Structure 1
């Protein structure tokens, strides 16, 4: 298939894109071969297999967003989350447009297709800007970085939305028979953004990182992105005819684009390391005491089963009578313990003289 600059004729004859019913002619451009429809409750659902991939893409992207948000101190966390949310919106909108839930004959289809066009262009712009976050031209997570990203994406969305709507409605000098502006924002702009992002990340890895493993993520992501374009624009008709219209190139395009987005997440995760000092995690930190004062080799305190006392608590030379070093129990009164006074066979100190006698109560032989 030959692709002409500024023309959707060959592209739409091969692949059933969202904008194809709105360009080329008044009735749009019909693909040569497309996936079978499914009747669900009296409603025809177009591209059913592709819709399943759209749903899977939304689920997987939400999981990736949750994982990114859990890395509280990772570089570029908020910026990359913006990209994933925009990709989720594209997949959600594609379900309604690809499946025919919003019919192409409906008056609102034009506006939803224009919104879809703007989201695609803005999402690639978001990816492009995320490619420069690692270079720290502006500190990530700051208002300058976040609002710069949001405003840039909003500007690209507004321009692309206007170009799409003007082309579909034939006003402001745009025409659906010669959709040059739409071709630039829908076909050329995503390709430029993807190439710049890939090159910038390779430079980032080679110049600032010691680890070379993230290059593998970039290679796989690039391979999936390239495969998506080739399978849809080059082999869609061949696939459709070979599988008897059950699926077409759009199915593999959507699947490969999902895999490439997953590799963007994998690459970002591999080059970011969370600062554990300030992170909030589910696992408790294991603290090891390094104080030498608490790591002695003295006798066990508290008798058998007690903890090991430090060496500077060894009283073997100056303490020979205390309970700590094996002597008799200590006392708080008169140097005599309770065990000495009341125990040991009832013998104790006789406060009334006469040497040793029976302990308290006083000797019954002594009167008052």
Structure 2
């Protein structure tokens, strides 16, 4: 397959894209595409690809529910927008890839334009999400969320207009010269994916001590690249080899789904490690007030006056006359009489003293 900038001829002859029936003089038909299936008198095109779309919707719903349950996650609302867009794209693709809306129908160009706009908006969303981890704007705030939404809406509007103007020959655009559509449909996704991967690698190496999320980025990128290569380079070859049962579009959509799942897995791992970002092992100095004596004593000299007197600087309760305050002798761990008062007597004992060692030994 040869790809010429601004031309879909080589692309559409290999891959059965949604926009291909609307490009060129009479549309461009792929040299090989998947068999259709008769369902109650209605033909369903690309049945294997439609099945992948259904699986993708189910998996996306599961991922959305998991993300919504993580209330304190970094960029939770921002990444949810991406998965919402992906789910809508998969739902719309069922009607377009499966020809539930026939290509000859007057509504098909409008749905194809909406699909193109949503696709461009989804890549814009993942691009903006790439900056969330850098906290240029605090995630979850109106500034962050509305910045994301306005950016996606603007890209959707531009892509939708370029698509429908190309299909309908409006504003100097035409199906025979789809340069703008070529940039939106093929170049824009590559730019967004590349920027996302580079920024996430910078984020991992600069802020995370753990390198596990690196594997998610590598696998996600690999799945996406493999999917694009299978679609645009080997779709016809796969289709001929498997006798029209499956073409490259099936494997492409499957690889994109796996790539999206890696984005979710990477985001989930980053959330699990968010409290270790830039962290070091904490060193704690334990000061036990019970062990604190006078400021000039052998055992209490390292403690400040605050530490030795804060908890024991009050008057002793009745019956505990020997209990020392913050400025007196060290308090006994048993209470009532300090250790020096109890044993600080000459050997053999004196009046009121027990002596140490006690009389009679042990």
Tell me the TM-score normalised to structure 2 length: 0.76
Q: Counterpart in 2 of 1:65? A: 64
Moved over 4 A (4+): none
Does the aligned pair in 2 maintain the 1:71–1:274 contact within 8 Å?
A: no
Aligned position for 2:15: 15
Provide the rounded CA distance (Å) in 1 between the counterparts of 2:103 and 2:29.
Answer: 12
The SS at the match of 2:7 is: coil
Check conservation: 1:124, 1:190, Cα contact below 8 A: yes
**Structural RMSD (CA):** 1.7
Residues in 2 aligned to 1:275 and 1:223: alpha-carbon distance in whole angstroms: 25
In the alignment, the residues of structure 2 paired with residue 256 and residue 218 of structure 1 have an alpha-carbon distance, to the nearest angstrom, of: 14
Q: Which residue of 2 aligns with 1:134?
A: 133
Contact in 2 for aligned 1:221/1:260 (Cα 8 Å): yes
Report the counterpart of residue 34 of structure 1 in structure 2: 33
Larger of the two Rg values belongs to structure:
1
Residue pair 2:12, 2:29 contacting (<8 A) in 1 also: yes
SS in 1 for 2:210: coil
Partner of 2:38: helix, strand, or coil?
Answer: strand
Match of residue 220 from structure 1: 219
How do 1:200-279 and structure 2 match up within 5 A?
200-273=199-272
Q: Is the 8 A contact 1:55 1:91 kept in 2?
A: yes
| TM-superposition CA deviations, 1:258-294 (whole Å, max 9, x none) | 0000000001111113889xxxxxxxxxxxxxxxx9x
Secondary structure of the residue that 2:133 maps to in structure 1? helix
SS of equivalent to 1:131: helix
User: Structure 1: where are the runs of 5+ without partners?
Assistant: 277-292, 294-310, 314-368
Aligned partner of 1:119 in structure 2 is 118
Q: Measure, in 2, the Cα distance between the counterparts of 1:270 and 1:74.
A: 10
- Cα deviation per residue 1:222-242 (whole Å; 9 max; x = unaligned)? 000000111011110110000
Find the counterpart in structure 2 of residue 333 from structure 1.
Answer: none
TM-superposed CA distance for 1:2, in Å, is: 1.4
Tell me how far apart the structure 1 counterparts of residues 152 and 41 of structure 2 sit (CA, whole Å).
40
Q: Are the aligned partners of 1:72 and 1:274 in contact in 2 as well (CA < 8 Å)?
A: no
Aligned to 2:282: none
Determine the structure 1 residue equivalent to 2:73. 74
* Residue-pair matches, total: 281
- CA distance in 2 between counterparts of 1:195 and 1:275 reads 24
Following the alignment from structure 2 to structure 1, what is the Cα–Cα distance between the partners of residues 262 and 174? 37
1:100-119 aligned at under 5 Å gives the runs 100-119=99-118
Residues in 2 aligned to 1:32 and 1:14: alpha-carbon distance in whole angstroms: 6
* 8 Å contact kept, 1:74–1:274: no
Partners of 1:218 and 1:77 in 2: CA distance: 18
Instruction: State how far apart, in whole Å, the 2-side matches of 1:254 and 1:44 are.
Output: 21
Give yes or no for contact 2:74–2:274 (8 Å, CA) kept in 1.
no
Match of 1:272, SS state, is: helix
Secondary structure at the residue paired with 2:246?
coil
Distance 1:13 1:274 in 2: 46
Q: Provide the C-alpha distance between the structure 2 equivalents of 1:16 and 1:251, rounded to a whole number of angstroms.
A: 10
> Which fold has the larger relative contact order, with Cα–Cα distance below 8 Å and residues 6 or more apart in sequence?
1
- 1:86 CA drift (Å): 0.2
Indicate conservation of the 8 Å contact 2:109/2:167, yes or no: yes
Stretches of structure 2 lacking an aligned partner (at least 5 in a row): 276-289, 291-332, 336-362
Aligned partners of 2:220 and 2:274: how far apart in 1? 27
Secondary structure in 1 matching 2:167: helix
Task: Provide the secondary structure at the position in 2 that maps to 1:44.
Answer: strand
What is the aligned partner in structure 1 of residue 87 from structure 2?
A: 88
Partner of 1:180: 179
CA distance in 1, matches of 2:107, 2:46: 20
Residues 192 and 84 of structure 1: CA distance in aligned 2, closer, same or farther (over 3 Å): same
